[in-house]
Amino acid sequence: MIGQLTAALEQIDIPADWIGIRAMQEVSSYRAMRDGYPQQNRRELNRGAMVEVLAAGQFGYSATNHLTAQSLRQAAQKAYEQAIAASQWAVHHFTQTVRPAIKGSYRSPYAKPFDSLSVSEINDLLRRLCDRLKVSAAIVRTSAIARIHEIDTWFVSSNGSEVHQRLNLIEGHLGAIAQAPGVTQSRSDNGYLARSYQGGWERFLDDTLWARAERIGQQAVALLSAPNCPNEATTLVLAPDQMMLQLHESVGHPIELDRILGDERNYAGGSFVKPADFGQLVYGSPLMNVTFDATLAGELASYEFDDTGTPADKAYLIREGVLQRGLGGLESQERLGVPGVACTRACSWNRPAIDRMANINLEPGETDFDTMISRIESGVYMESNRSWSIDDQRHKFQFGCEYARKIENGQLTTLLKNPNYRSTTTQFWQNLDQVGNHHSLKVYGTPYCGKGEPNQLIRVGHASPACAFKNIEVFGGVS
Amino acid sequence: MSLQESDARSLGNRFSTEEDTANIHHGNTKNQPKTKYENAFHQILAALKKQLKQSHFKFSVAGEESQFTRFNGAKVRQTGQVCDSKMTLTLISEESISERISSAESTATKPTLKEESSLAELEAGYRTTTLSLPFVGEFETDWQSLKPALESLQTELINLPIDPYVVLPSADDRTPRAHHSREIYAGKLLQPSQLIEALLSPVQSLDFSGLYAGGQAYRGYADSAGKQHWFETPSFTLDYSLFEQVGESKAAVKGTLAGHQWTQNDYEQSIATAQEQLTMSARARKQLQKGRYSTYLAPAAVADIIDTIACGGGLGEAALRQGNSPFSRLEKGEAVLSSQFSLGEDFQRVGRPRFNADGEIAPMQLPVVQHGRWVEALVNGRSEQEYGKPSNGANGAEALRAASVAPGNLPEKDVLRALDTGLYVSNVHYLNWSDLTAGHITGMTRYACFWVENGEVIAPIENLRFDDDLYRFLGEGLIALTDRQTFVPAVGTYERRSLGGMWVPGMLINDFRYTL
């Protein structure tokens, strides 16, 4: 494909300063069972190319799903006309320095190939998982989902870039809803599709699968008779599957450079973070170390190069509580004059690349989980996100979880339902009191990070240990 | 100082008039020539019928040619075009008991009597599988990619379990007039070469950000039972914000326009109205404590709440039966909402197709909640199979596609007087369920929101988080609805440009609960 695209690129005859073609092919299958019956057996081939042109300091783009040399030439011409039409109104005069010349490749690691299970085996697996989830008659709905994607991206450019990246992704979900008169409770496998990884079937068929399915069903039923989470200010311990959401919403998004530049403020919003905050802002307690890490094998958003060809690595975004750098690619770094990372990404061939999260992780600390709990006289432990909302400056948030336990005198005790908490971002992170060690670190991901105009849903990964936060307002539902 | 109720959202040219709608139903569009996409769609359909003979199938396409131009600070951040479409084929195969026995015989392992008995206990059923591929609108190219995929689909089909709730293609006698539809809208959009100057020239003195999204969009459906539908329209949405620095923060207002035809005067009028609100917003903000306040939710805010409570499937039969709906108590008659509140679908004025993924046509109007009481759920063909309630043409998610909240009696000019003292909320942001099945919803105020005392606007507010129970704020807490509906366009562009929007009035609510 690189050869075809390079040949097509050579046939494009426009007076542009730079031309790039990013072609993509995504082969997906979606398998879902509900209550043991097939809900979805769908396959999809999505294929197309984004042609991007730099002319008179402005980028223009044109994307097409018709991958012929003629179509690509026409797309380049349209992209050129877009750039010229906008050049006198450009928000910034770019040069090709924001499109580095690069050659390389990347491939997701995997052990058990996707074709090692037939469609009938996958359906049978999901049906049996539904059976396992239904631990009693109180379970009124079970669901099991497996989605796989093989994504090839090829990037060539007029300044010599040639990149091929092959991603193998698997996204899994288990869920159960339990009902008793007047009460309904749900439990899932660390949140909807939170078990999303790069890799093969080994990521789905791990040793804990069947025990997890049974536990999900049992916990959904147990929650029916649990009391509501109390309303109080207390020590809050978040499991890694809720830390995923906490990191995503209150760290990842606020430090995106395009939000700070105002590109995003008509849609997802801006940020309380100011350009002068980099290197200065005390975002959290000294225990807070957050990294952008595109190198963690198996995490959902690992890659070698972003969608502009910028090489990716691991970098500290927040070190010992102080904001170091933002989530922004070369365009935003140049416009804002602050350090960023290789995270200019597009959800597909039909959208332009913008500043996105990839893998945003909280680095583990020193405390094992049992020790963390033993140090807490009174508190609440929460798992698995079920509700999230935050303001357009990423300041005031309210998040809810599926499952909670009281912490009393250093022990996990009473099961609690409908747990929620609310706070403001820097106040919350400055109350970070304990960070779990590498034993409690878990890796999750989500296919559903929404942002951008036109809108884009992109995949992100988050790894975190369990963490404890002091003096947080928690609350429950209606009894 | 007073607020103009006609916020910027209401100024867009509407998607269709009563006259347009009448034309569509009287078939005035049938003489419109087919576009290349419609031509290719019909050619593929003919080839599929020939290839698949007696098999059950459903075939659909969805696509667009779109211009996307993103603005920041009254300048262009990104601009480009996207030509994207996909075709989706669903195959359904029937397996009868005799076929299964015959299949066993053909493998030379004739079933024993016991095995035959076991097979006989199995009900005949259907298997189904779906494949989506790129659709470029050229028959030779598209058929070349689809034809070889048919064999792999048929191979996959025989390896799948029986799906007891398959919706077979059928030309149901209940709706004989709804088997075929063709809606082609005409319009006039900005050309890419004109677009940027037309939008940015009037706002050069303003901090203007947003997205123009426009172009041709089309949807098609056909099946082996003979249903055929085609919908094609030019359309645009402009979703923008104006900002003004006030101290260390920025005042902001939101505006939207949508339609088939760009009218520069409408745009400039929208900007002028937004500027008026921005002037009011660009003052020192009042910091309110959490608590309960009387609140007026302007139509844009109401639309976001309706979008959350009614467009996510909670009004659907499946969600109700599977314990996944906040409306269970309402449906069971254990709770009622305010007699002023009526919610349903109204496709008359929204500019989007009525057919669903099974080729069923939804009624032009469908009441779901009327005068605070449950009427009927949204039901699609799959739920009809599973729960035995007749389909009313709902989509796959059983979500409202053309939501309409009935207006009330409060004249818009009297909104501030009726509010007296409380909050005027223009927009809300990032809504979510804080407790789905209990009906608790949370979110933030956003853009031009004001503190009002004795019917006078006093000051813009610092944004607040709300968290309230829909049974309360749409129940006894609902004081009044304005006497006019406003069209709030769907401006989403995930995967492709959204079509349509919803018609809603403003709402005056008592003791709306703010928590942070």
What pLDDT score was predicted for residue A423?
Answer: 97
Tokens representing residue A277 in the block: 């905050």
What pLDDT score was predicted for residue A10?
Answer: 95
Any CB–CB contact under 8 A between B335 and chain A?
A: no
Pick from B420, B280, B293, B356: which is nearest to B88 by CA? B356
Q: List phi, psi (to 5°) of A319.
A: -125, 125
- Say whether B437 and A184 touch across the interface (CB within 8 A): yes
Any CB–CB contact under 8 A between A479 and chain B?
A: no
DSSP B474: I
Q: Say how far apart CA A440 and CA A385 lie, in whole Å.
A: 18
Q: Say how far apart CA B407 and CA A227 lie, in whole Å.
A: 41
Count CA atoms within 13 Å of residue B102 on its CB side: 5
What pLDDT score was predicted for residue B32?
Answer: 76
Q: Which residues of B150-159 are buried (b: 16+ CB within 10 A; e: fewer)?
A: beebeebbee
- Say whether A123 and B161 touch across the interface (CB within 8 A): yes
Pick from A113, A118, A123, A117: which is nearest to A41 by CA? A123
**Tens digit of each residue's pLDDT (9 = 90 or more) over B42-71:** 999 999 999 998 789 999 999 999 999 999
Q: Say how far apart CA A468 and CA A369 lie, in whole Å.
A: 10
Per-residue confidence band for B423, with pLDDT thresholds at 50, 70 and 90:
very high
Q: Say how far apart CA B87 and CA B292 lie, in whole Å.
A: 50
Q: Say how far apart CA B476 and CA A84 lie, in whole Å.
A: 57
Looking only at the bridges linking them, the beta strands covering B125-134 and B465-469 are unpaired
What average pLDDT score do residues B386-411 get?
96
Q: Say how far apart CA A464 and CA A359 lie, in whole Å.
A: 11
pLDDT over threshold 70, residue B163 = yes
Looking only at the bridges linking them, the beta strands covering B180-184 and B228-246 are parallel
Q: Say how far apart CA B27 and CA A249 lie, in whole Å.
A: 50
Cα distances (angstroms) measured from residue A15 to each of A77, A80, A240, B488 = 10, 8, 52, 42
- Tell me how close the Cα of A66 comes to any Cα of chain B, in angstroms: 6
- Say whether B516 and A453 touch across the interface (CB within 8 A): no
Residues sharing a CB contact under 8 Å with residue B112, sequence separation 6 or more, in sequence order = none
- Say if residue A27 is exposed, middle or buried (CB neighbours under 10 Å; 0-12, 13-18, 19+): middle
Cβ contact B41:B230 at 8 Å: yes
What pLDDT score was predicted for residue B171?
Answer: 77
Cα nearest neighbour of B86 on chain A: A46
Per-residue confidence band for B34, with pLDDT thresholds at 50, 70 and 90:
confident
Pick from B335, A324, A322: which is nearest to A314 by CA? A324
Q: Say how far apart CA A388 and CA A391 lie, in whole Å.
A: 11
**Tens digit of each residue's pLDDT (9 = 90 or more) over B451-482:** 999 999 999 999 999 999 999 999 999 999 99
Q: Classify B507 as helix, strand or coil.
A: strand
Q: Which residues of B touch A389 (CB under 8 A)?
A: 430-432, 434, 442-444, 465
- Say whether A352 and B78 touch across the interface (CB within 8 A): yes
What pLDDT score was predicted for residue B172?
Answer: 67
| Sole residue written with tokens 């989605």 | A147
What pLDDT score was predicted for residue B11?
Answer: 29
Q: Which residues of A touch B213 (CB under 8 A)?
A: 453-454
What average pLDDT score do residues A283-292 get?
98
Q: Which residues of A touch B429 (CB under 8 A)?
A: 269, 391-392
pLDDT over threshold 60, residue A52 = yes
Tokens representing residue A367 in the block: 């405390």
What pLDDT score was predicted for residue B175?
Answer: 58
Any CB–CB contact under 8 A between A267 and chain B?
A: yes
Mean pLDDT of chain A: 97
Q: Classify B36 as helix, strand or coil.
A: helix
- Tell me how close the Cα of B406 comes to any Cα of chain A, in angstroms: 28
What average pLDDT score do residues B22-26 get?
33
Any CB–CB contact under 8 A between B82 and chain A?
A: yes
What pLDDT score was predicted for residue B188?
Answer: 95
Q: List phi, psi (to 5°) of B282.
A: -85, 55
Per-residue confidence band for B9, with pLDDT thresholds at 50, 70 and 90:
very low
Q: Say how far apart CA B426 and CA B287 lie, in whole Å.
A: 17
The residue count of chain A comes to: 479
What pLDDT score was predicted for residue B299?
Answer: 98
- Tell me how close the Cα of B155 comes to any Cα of chain A, in angstroms: 10
- Say whether B463 and A392 touch across the interface (CB within 8 A): yes
Tokens representing residue B86 in the block: 């996909």
Would you tell me which residues 112-131 of chain A have a C-beta closer than 8 angstroms to some C-beta of chain B? 118-120, 123-124, 127
- Say whether B435 and A477 touch across the interface (CB within 8 A): yes
pLDDT over threshold 70, residue A469 = yes
Cβ contact B425:B297 at 8 Å: yes
Sign, CA dihedral A7-A75-A357-A273, equals positive
- Say if residue B191 is exposed, middle or buried (CB neighbours under 10 Å; 0-12, 13-18, 19+): exposed
Q: Which residues of B touch A83 (CB under 8 A)?
A: 79
Interface test with B, best of A398, A402, A472 (most B CBs within 10 A): A398
Residue type, A169: L
Any CB–CB contact under 8 A between B323 and chain A?
A: yes
Would you tell me which residues 276-335 of chain A have a C-beta closer than 8 angstroms to some C-beta of chain B? none
Cα nearest neighbour of A399 on chain B: B434
Q: Is pLDDT larger for residue B109 or for residue A22?
A: A22
What pLDDT score was predicted for residue B75?
Answer: 98
Cβ contact B297:B305 at 8 Å: yes
What pLDDT score was predicted for residue B380?
Answer: 96
Per-residue confidence band for B185, with pLDDT thresholds at 50, 70 and 90:
very high
| Sole residue written with tokens 């997701």 | A108
pTM over 0.90: yes
Pick from A5, A27, A26, A312: which is nearest to A155 by CA? A5
Per-residue confidence band for B310, with pLDDT thresholds at 50, 70 and 90:
confident
Instruction: Please give the sequence-ordered ranges of beta strands (E in DSSP) within A359-395, or none if there are none.
Output: 360-362, 378-390
Any CB–CB contact under 8 A between B81 and chain A?
A: yes
Instruction: Please give the sequence-ordered ranges of beta strands (E in DSSP) within A257-313, or none if there are none.
Output: 290-293
Q: Say how far apart CA B313 and CA B332 lie, in whole Å.
A: 17
What pLDDT score was predicted for residue B18?
Answer: 31
What average pLDDT score do residues A237-243 get?
98
Query: Within its chain, how far is the Cα of B135 from the centroid?
Result: 23
pLDDT over threshold 50, residue B353 = yes
Mean pLDDT of chain B: 89
| Sole residue written with tokens 């969009």 | B217
**Tens digit of each residue's pLDDT (9 = 90 or more) over A145-161:** 999 999 999 999 999 99
Q: Which residues of B touch A175 (CB under 8 A)?
A: none
Cβ contact A215:A126 at 8 Å: no
What pLDDT score was predicted for residue B30?
Answer: 58
Cβ contact A472:A421 at 8 Å: yes
Tokens representing residue B92 in the block: 């359904």
pLDDT over threshold 60, residue A201 = yes
- Say whether A83 and B79 touch across the interface (CB within 8 A): yes
What pLDDT score was predicted for residue A372?
Answer: 98
Residues sharing a CB contact under 8 Å with residue B321, sequence separation 6 or more, in sequence order = B383, B386, B387
pLDDT over threshold 80, residue B173 = no
What average pLDDT score do residues A201-212 get?
97
* A187 membership: H or E segment, kind and range: strand A183-188
Query: Within its chain, how far is the Cα of B394 from the centroid?
Result: 12
Q: Which residues of A touch B324 (CB under 8 A)?
A: 141, 177, 186
| Sole residue written with tokens 């990423």 | A394
What pLDDT score was predicted for residue B33?
Answer: 84
pLDDT over threshold 50, residue A233 = yes
Q: Is pLDDT larger for residue B111 or for residue A367?
A: A367
Q: Is pLDDT larger for residue B260 or for residue B32?
A: B260
Among B68, B164, B515, whose Cβ lies nearest the Cβ of A37?
B164
Any CB–CB contact under 8 A between B75 and chain A?
A: yes
Cβ contact A449:A248 at 8 Å: yes
Among B82, B134, B430, whose Cβ lies nearest the Cβ of A45?
B134
Looking only at the bridges linking them, the beta strands covering A58-64 and A103-107 are unpaired
